[in-house]
C-alpha cells in the first residue's frame, strides 16, 4: 500500500497499491522526481515502479503454496518463475539472492 503523507486524512486510507512482489519488501528507494521507486523483495526480485500507475485498491491472495524463511533456506525452486497475476511494476530484475541478509537497492547517484 502507498500512503501520501502530504494529504494524510483522519480516516487513514492508503493513496493506492503497487502490486507485484510475491514476498515481503526489504527495501524501497525513490527517484528524485518522486515518480519512480525501486524495491527489493524476499521473492528474489527487484522491481521498478511508476507511482502514476498504482491501482486505487487491490486484493489478491493464494498464489503461493510453499513456506520458506530467507534467513536459512534457499528460495523455493518452484517459486522462481512465478509472477503476481496483477503485477504493476514497470520492470522486474532477477538474478540476485536474498539469503541470510537483506539486500538493499538504490538508484545510481548519477541518476538520483
Q: What is the mean pLDDT of residues 28-54?
A: 87
11-22 residue pLDDT tens: 667 777 778 888
Q: Give the residue extent of every domain in the chain.
A: 1-58+66-112
**Would you place residue 99 in the very low, low, confident or very high pLDDT band (cuts 50, 70, 90)?**
low
Helix, strand, coil shares, percent, the chain, to 5: 10, 25, 65
Q: What is the mean pLDDT of residues 32-55?
A: 86
Print the SS3 string covering 6-29: HHCCCCCCCCEECCCCCCCEEEEE
Please give the pLDDT value at position 73: 67
Question: According to the per-residue pLDDT averaged within each range, which of 21-25, 76-80, 90-94 is highest?
Answer: 90-94
- Min mean pLDDT across 44-48, 50-54, 75-79, 80-84 is at 75-79
Amino acid at each position: 500500500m502507498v500512503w501520501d503523507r502530504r494529504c494524510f486524512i483522519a480516516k487513514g486510507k492508503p493513496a493506492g497499491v503497487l502490486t507485484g512482489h510475491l514476498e515481503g519488501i526489504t527495501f524501497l528507494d525513490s527517484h528524485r522526481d518522486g515518480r519512480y521507486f525501486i524495491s527489493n523483495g524476499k521473492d528474489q526480485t527487484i522491481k521498478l515502479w511508476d507511482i502514476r500507475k498504482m491501482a486505487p485498491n487491490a486484493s489478491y491472495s493464494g498464489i503461493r503454496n510453499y513456506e520458506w524463511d530467507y534467513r536459512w533456506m534457499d528460495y523455493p525452486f518452484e517459486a522462481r518463475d512465478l509472477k503476481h497475476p496483477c503485477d504493476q511494476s514497470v520492470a522486474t530484475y532477477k538474478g540476485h539472492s536474498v539469503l541470510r541478509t537483506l539486500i538493499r537497492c538504490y538508484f545510481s547517484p548519477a541518476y538520483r
